[in-house]
C-alpha cells in the first residue's frame, strides 16, 4: 500500500532514534519514497549519512533549513510532497512545540506547512511521560484529527527503568502507516464495538499433544488493527499466537484463549455489547473424547484417539444475534470456494461470509498476504485479489459499510 507514496520522517533526539533506521529501510524496500528530517539533537544519536544511505535521499537538517539554496522554501516543499508524516521518537520538547504550534526548526515548520496525516510515536523516560504537563500536552494534541498515535509501550528503557515510555516497535509503526495511507486518517467506524476472533484453537489429548491447525492469527490481528485504526472499540479473542506477532502496545482489547470451549464462552460473554462480529478464527471441528493428564506412551495413542465434535461457535452466534448486529464468518476452502461459502452463509444465519482459498500461493494460513470473495446475504459479491492481510481487512470493513 505504500508503493510510490511519499513518506516524510521526522526523527527526534532520543535513544529510540536507532529503531527508526529499520523503519526507513523497510519503507524503502516496500517502494516508498522516504525523506528524513533530523532535529539537531537527533544527530547526537544517528547521523545524516546513516539515514541518507538507508533512504537513498538526502537527509535534511536545520543547517539546510537556514541556507537559502533552494528554489522553494524547504519546509514548504517537504510538507506539500508528503503523503504521510511520521515523527519518531516524539520527544517531550517536540510534543510541546506541536501542541502550541511553535515553529523554530525545520521539523516544526514542515508540520505547519503540511496537510497530510501525522503519526506520532512518543518515547521518553517513565517519569517524564507521566508528568501532568506531558499528559496534558498529549491529550490536547489528540483532539486534532491530523494527529494519530502509536504507543508508547512498557518495558525496559535505556535508563534501566521498567515502565511506560518505550517507543513502539518498527513493525508496529509500519503497520500503522499502512492503515493511515489506506484511510487517510478517517474514523468511519468511530465508537462502533467490534468483536473479532482470530488464530486457531487447540484441543489437548495429553499435556504435550493436541489437535490443531496451522492458523497463526495474522488475519485476526489485521482485522483488529484495521478496525481500531478506523475508530472502532475492538475486542480480539484469539487462540495461541507467537509473541513476536502480538503488538507491544495494542489500541484494542486482547483476550487469549486455547480451546474452542473457551472461545465460545468469551465470544458469548462479549456478544451483546458488539455491533459487528467477525469470526475469523480457525476453530477445531473435533477434540479428543478423553483428556489424559499424563503423557501417553506411543503405543497407547491409537487406543486413545477417539474423537467427538466441538460446539459450532459461528452457528450458535447465528442463533443469538440481534437485528442491530452484523455477523461475519470466514470459509477457508480448497477447490470451489463459492458454493460451500454460500451454503455456510445461509445455514449459519450470517450477514456476510469471506470465502478464503487456502490452496493458492500466498493465501490462507501463515502467509502475510491473502485473497477472498466477499458475499453478503443479499447476493452482493466482491472479489479481492492477492493483497496484504491488513488491506484485505480494510476492504472487508468497506464491504460492511455498503452491505
Measured between its terminal Cα atoms, the distance across the chain in Å is 24
Any binding-site annotation on 306?
Answer: no
Burial of 89 (0-12, 13-18, 19+ CB in 10 A): buried
Any binding-site annotation on 285?
Answer: yes
Any binding-site annotation on 287?
Answer: no
Contact indicator for 239, 218 with CB cutoff of 8 Å: no
Sign (positive or negative) of CA dihedral 393, 395, 401, 403: negative
Sign (positive or negative) of CA dihedral 40, 41, 44, 46: negative
Instruction: Report in angstroms the alpha-carbon separations of 123 from 18, 74, 88, 179, 205.
Output: 12, 27, 8, 21, 45
Strands 118-122 and 147-149: parallel
For residues 123 and 107, give the distance between their C-alpha atoms in angstroms, rounded to a whole number: 17
Residue 387 a catalytic site member: no
Q: With H, G, I as helix, E, B as strand and everything else as coil, classify residue 384.
A: strand
Strand residue runs (E) in 199-346: 203-206, 209-211, 233-238, 253-256, 276-279, 286-288, 307-309, 326-333
Provide the b/e sequence for 148-164 (b: ≥16 CB within 10 Å): bbbbbbeeebeeeeebb
Any binding-site annotation on 330?
Answer: yes
Residue-wise DSSP of 135-187: HHHHHHHHTSTTEEE---EEEE-TTS-EEEEEPPPHHHHHHHHHHHHHHTT--
Q: Which ranges of 69-158 would DSSP assign to H, the alpha helix?
A: 74-81, 92-100, 106-112, 126-129, 132-142
For residues 170 and 155, give the distance between their C-alpha atoms in angstroms, rounded to a whole number: 15
Please identify which of the residues 21, 116, 159, 387 carries the catalytic annotation: 159
For residues 8 and 82, give the distance between their C-alpha atoms in angstroms, rounded to a whole number: 6
Any binding-site annotation on 360?
Answer: no
Q: With H, G, I as helix, E, B as strand and everything else as coil, classify residue 352.
A: strand
Q: Which ranges of 312-351 would DSSP assign to H, the alpha helix?
A: 313-320, 338-347
Q: Please give the grid coordinates belonging to residue 16.
A: 529510540
Residues of each annotated binding site? 285, 295, 330, 344, 348
Q: Which residues are catalytic?
A: 159
Residues of each annotated binding site for CTP? 285, 295, 330, 344, 348
Amino acid at each position: 500500500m505504500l508503493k510510490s507514496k511519499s513518506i516524510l520522517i521526522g526523527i527526534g533526539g532520543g535513544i529510540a532514534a536507532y529503531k527508526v533506521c529499520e523503519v526507513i529501510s523497510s519503507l524503502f524496500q516496500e517502494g516508498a519514497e522516504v525523506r528524513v528530517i533530523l532535529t539537531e539533537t537527533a544527530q547526537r544519536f544517528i547521523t545524516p549519512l546513516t539515514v541518507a544511505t538507508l533512504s537513498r535521499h538526502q537527509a535534511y537538517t536545520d543547517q539546510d533549513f537556514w541556507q537559502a539554496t533552494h528554489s522553494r522554501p524547504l519546509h514548504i516543499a517537504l510538507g506539500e510532497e508528503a503523503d504521510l508524516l511520521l515523527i519518531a521518537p516524539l520527544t517531550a520538547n517536540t510534543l510541546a512545540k506541536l501542541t502550541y504550534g511553535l515553529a523554530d526548526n525545520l521539523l516544526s515548520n514542515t508540520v505547519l506547512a503540511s496537510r497530510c496525516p501525522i503519526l506520532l510515536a512518543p518515547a521518553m523516560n517513565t517519569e517524564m511521560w507521566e508528568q501532568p504537563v506531558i499528559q496534558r500536552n498529549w491529550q490536547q494534541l489528540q483532539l486534532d484529527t491530523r494527529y494519530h498515535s502509536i504507543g508508547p509501550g512498557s518495558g525496559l528503557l535505556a535508563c534501566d527503568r521498567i515502565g511506560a515510555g518505550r517507543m513502539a516497535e518498527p513493525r508496529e509503526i509500519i503497520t500503522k502507516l499502512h492503515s493511515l495511507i489506506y484511510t487517510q486518517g478517517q474514523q468511519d467506524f468511530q465508537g462502533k464495538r467490534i468483536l473479532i476472533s482470530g488464530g486457531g484453537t487447540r484441543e489437548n489429548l495429553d499435556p504435550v499433544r493436541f489437535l490443531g491447525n496451522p492458523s497463526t492469527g495474522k488475519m485476526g490481528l489485521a482485522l483488529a488493527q484495521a478496525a481500531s485504526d478506523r475508530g472502532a472499540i475492538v475486542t480480539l479473542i484469539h487462540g495461541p499466537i507467537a509473541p513476536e506477532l502480538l503488538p507491544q502496545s495494542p489500541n484494542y482489547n486482547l483476550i487469549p484463549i486455547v480451546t474452542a470451549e473457551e472461545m465460545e464462552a468469551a465470544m458469548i460473554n462479549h456478544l451483546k455489547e458488539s455491533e459487528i462480529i467477525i469470526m475469523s478464527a480457525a476453530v477445531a471441528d473435533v477434540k479428543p473424547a478423553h483428556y489424559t493428564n499424563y503423557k501417553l506412551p506411543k503405543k497407547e495413542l491409537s487406543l486413545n484417539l477417539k474423537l467427538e465434535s466441538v460446539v459450532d461457535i459461528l452457528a450458535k452466534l447465528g442463533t443469538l444475534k440481534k437485528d442491530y448486529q452484523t455477523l461475519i464468518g470466514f470459509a477457508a476452502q480448497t477447490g470451489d470456494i463459492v458454493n460451500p461459502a454460500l451454503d455456510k452463509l445461509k445455514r449459519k444465519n450470517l450477514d456476510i461470509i469471506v470465502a478464503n482459498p487456502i490452496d493458492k500461493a500466498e493465501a490462507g494460513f501463515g502467509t502475510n498476504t491473502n485473497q477472498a470473495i466477499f458475499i453478503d446475504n443479499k447476493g452482493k459479491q466482491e472479489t479481492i485479489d492477492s493483497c496484504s492481510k491488513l488491506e484485505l481487512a480494510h476492504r472487508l470493513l468497506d464491504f460492511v459499510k455498503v452491505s
